[in-house]
Amino acid sequence: MNPLAAIGRIFLGFLSGAGRIALFAATAVSHCVRPPFYPSLVMRQMMDIGYFSLPVVGLTALFTGMVLALQSYTGFARFQAEGAVATVVVLSMTRELGPVIAGLMVAGRIGASMAAEIGTMRVTEQIDALVTLSTNPFKYLVVPRIVAAVAMLPLLVLVADIIGVLGGYLVAVYKLNFNMSAYLKQTVDYLQVMDVVSGLVKASVFGFLIAMLGCFHGYNSGGGAQGVGRATTNSVVSSSIMILVLDYMLTELFFSTR
Amino acid sequence: MDAPPKIAISGLRKAFGPKKVLDGVELSVAKGDSLVVIGGSGTGKSVLLKTILGLIRPDAGSIRIDGEETIGMDASARECANARFGMLFQGAALFDSLSVWENVAFGLVQGRGMARDEARRRAIENLAAVGLRPEVGDLSPAELSGGMKKRVGLARAIATRPEIIFFDEPTTGLDPIMSDVINDLIVACTRDLGATTVSITHDMQSARKIATHVAMLHGGRIIWTGPISEIDRSGSAHVEQFIHGRAEGPIQMQVRA
């Protein structure tokens, strides 16, 4: 076996995969703006993605905020800079950890279920059945999920930001004996609108990625239970990786000039 | 001048990688006929059906419905063409997130924009046509037995009153009695609608019951076609072997892939 041929094959496979995902995304977006629309399906997805993800996202955000306060305190205490804890917590939460943590949690919870549900529909010919009943599967299955995810992720992240800051506050005030009002003042003083907005924009992008990749892997699921299992795994792994990669790229885009 | 056949297929080819599944299929179905395509497992019967439905894009060939070419249609024309089709899938393919009546009414509500009350009434009528009581309408598909799923699938396929109905192995996986019930329902429902039907099966008993014409698919081509009354005098060794289910003959089953 020629090793160069093997490398070439892997590279071509990667390129064709990327191309197929890009085509899928373009098709999905083009269907987002053309009727018919299914508002009731969008609402149902919004409930699932937004409301029912609240406990998971809230809990992870709470503990992330708490550990952030604890860790930055131990670090800053060595330079007698404990006063910076509040600022570090709020900036890390809004700019970075809120969107990333909510994104990863939703990728695991929602991306996986989208891939499994649509994959099962593919395997049991339900997607073919949609077509024979004059219903476009992109409009009926993919668009509601993408629209709902793009809309709900920023709201989830906003909640995560608030809960994360609360977690940091609890640890700082009740464990590290910070002054309550001083901590709150510190939190607000150095926070800029852009810090929060950039996090929310990231969240929307992550929402699009999670729903699009979940639907893509489900839609192209292979046969049988194994195919659906692989689709689920691929959707979680690929969206988690893409979230971290895009997180860096978006941060670069927003803040590189400063 | 005769009207063009309801479905006319010529030179249809489709390959998956090196494997030629359809290799020049020629087939025509007259209006009101019931064509049954027979052939061994893996000979491309399902691919043929899905190609006619536009779910699979063929490599070459032409498929005309009422004389109108459907290959290369744009998406919206395709959706219009599909509105004239109904299909009963092998595993029924009911939407498990919806109740039974919503499944039956799906084509009416989503495809035609019918109001839910009216659609529900029509769904109950269609359930009655396949011998199911109105209460079944409120169950979820997961609660149904295999035979009931097939009946609901049939009710869904006929609910939009399509001109052409496809049946993908309608009796596979059912006991002999339920198979016969489904066959009777298929005959009765399609006769009431005056629909043209194309079925694929390898169940000869079912084929004899529902077919007016039979075509045998082998090696990617139609090797024999004729009225059901002539199937026992086909003069084709392949057909003879298939309808009598003999292991010995011109068709060699690939035991190893």
pLDDT (tens digit per residue) in B100-150:
999 999 988 887 788 889 999 999 999 998 888 999 999 999 999 888 999
Confirm whether A19 is domain-assigned. no
Alpha-helix runs per DSSP H in B105-199: 106, 116-129, 146-159, 176-193
Q: Would you say how long chain A is, in residues?
A: 258
Confirm whether A258 is domain-assigned. no
What is the distance in angstroms between the Cα of A104 and the nearest Cα belonging to chain B? 26
- C-alpha A84/C-alpha A65 separation (Å) is 14
Residue found by looking up tokens 């027979």 in the block = B38
What is the distance in angstroms between the Cα of B233 and the nearest Cα belonging to chain A? 36
> Which of A30, A114, A120, A132 should we substitute to test contact with B (largest number of B Cβ atoms within 10 Å)?
A132
pTM: 0.89
Question: Residue B67, by phi and psi: left (phi above 0), alpha (psi -120 to 50) or beta?
Answer: left
- C-alpha A144/C-alpha B110 separation (Å) is 15
> What is the pLDDT, as a whole number, of residue B66?
87
CB contact under 8 A, B89 and A135: no
Question: Residue B45, by phi and psi: left (phi above 0), alpha (psi -120 to 50) or beta?
Answer: alpha
Instruction: For residue range A88-134, list pLDDT tens digits in order.
Output: 999 999 999 999 999 999 999 999 999 999 999 999 999 999 988 88
Q: At A258, is the pLDDT very low, low, confident or very high (cuts 50, 70, 90)? A: low
CB contact under 8 A, A124 and B50: no
> Which of A47, A127, A134 should we substitute to test contact with B (largest number of B Cβ atoms within 10 Å)?
A134
- Residue A215, domain extent: 38-250
Question: Two tokens at A74?
Answer: 């131990």
> Which of A27, A41, A133 should we substitute to test contact with B (largest number of B Cβ atoms within 10 Å)?
A133
Confirm whether A69 is domain-assigned. yes
Closest CA to B97 of A113, A210, A216, A208: A113
Confirm whether A170 is domain-assigned. yes
Beta bridge partners of B214: B36, B226
Three-state secondary structure call for residue B26: strand
> Which residues does A146 contact at the CB level (< 8 Å), separation at least 6?
A28, A29, A32, A208, A211, A212, A215
- Position B133, amino acid: R
Facing residue for A134 by CB, picked from B83, B94, B166: B83
Confirm whether A173 is domain-assigned. yes
Facing residue for A134 by CB, picked from B93, B96, B107: B107
- Position A21, amino acid: I
Query: How many domains, chain A?
Result: 1
Beta bridge partners of B12: B25
Residue B87 phi, psi dihedral angles, 5° rounding: -145, 135
Tell me what the pLDDT averaged over chain A comes to.
93
- C-alpha A251/C-alpha A257 separation (Å) is 11
Give B-chain residues touching A128 at CB under 8 angstroms: 50, 53, 55, 87, 89, 93
- C-alpha A69/C-alpha A82 separation (Å) is 10
Facing residue for B87 by CB, picked from A126, A132, A135: A132
Question: Two tokens at B107?
Answer: 């084509």
Q: Which residue of A has its CA nearest to B97?
A: A117
- C-alpha B235/C-alpha A116 separation (Å) is 49
Question: Two tokens at A243?
Answer: 């979230």
Give A-chain residues touching B87 at CB under 8 angstroms: 128-129, 132
CB contact under 8 A, B85 and A135: no
| A40 in reach of chain B (CB within 8 A) | no
> What is the pLDDT, as a whole number, of residue A140?
93
What is the distance in angstroms between the Cα of A223 and the nearest Cα belonging to chain B? 14
Cα B215 versus chain centre, distance: 13
Burial class of residue A63 in the structure, from the number of CB atoms within 10 Å of its CB (0-12 exposed, 13-18 middle, 19+ buried): middle
> What is the pLDDT, as a whole number, of residue A67?
95
Instruction: For residue range A174-192, list pLDDT tens digits in order.
Output: 999 999 999 999 999 989 9
ipTM over 0.85: yes
Residues of chain B with pLDDT under 70: 1-2, 253-257
Question: Two tokens at A201?
Answer: 């924009």
Counts for chain B of helices (H) and strands (E), in that order: 9, 10
Confirm whether A22 is domain-assigned. no
Contact B121, B109 (CB under 8 A): no
Average pLDDT over residues A215-244: 94
Contact B182, B175 (CB under 8 A): no
> What is the pLDDT, as a whole number, of residue B257?
46
> What is the pLDDT, as a whole number, of residue B1?
45
HEC per residue, chain A: CCHHHHHHHHHHHHHHHHHHHHHHHHHHHHHHCCCCCCHHHHHHHHHHHHHCCHHHHHHHHHHHHHHHHHHHHHHHHCCCCHHHHHHHHHHHHHHHHHHHHHHHHHHHHHHHHHHHHHHHHHHCCHHHHHHHCCCCHHHHHHHHHHHHHHHHHHHHHHHHHHHHHHHHHHHHHHCCCCCHHHHHHHHHHCCCHHHHHHHHHHHHHHHHHHHHHHHHHHHCCCCHHHHHHHHHHHHHHHHHHHHHHHHHHHHHHHHCCC
Closest CA to B130 of B165, B168, B159: B159
Confirm whether A10 is domain-assigned. no
> What is the pLDDT, as a whole number, of residue B67?
84
Closest CA to B89 of B13, B152, B25: B152
> What is the pLDDT, as a whole number, of residue B254?
59
CB contact under 8 A, A133 and B106: yes
Average pLDDT over residues A51-66: 96
> What is the pLDDT, as a whole number, of residue A257?
63
Total Cβ atoms within 10 A of residue B90: 17
Facing residue for A124 by CB, picked from B53, B85, B93: B93
Three-state secondary structure call for residue B25: strand
**How far, CA to CA in Å, does B154 sit from each of A147, B81, B160?**
34, 20, 11
Question: Two tokens at B13?
Answer: 């080819």
Confirm whether A193 is domain-assigned. yes
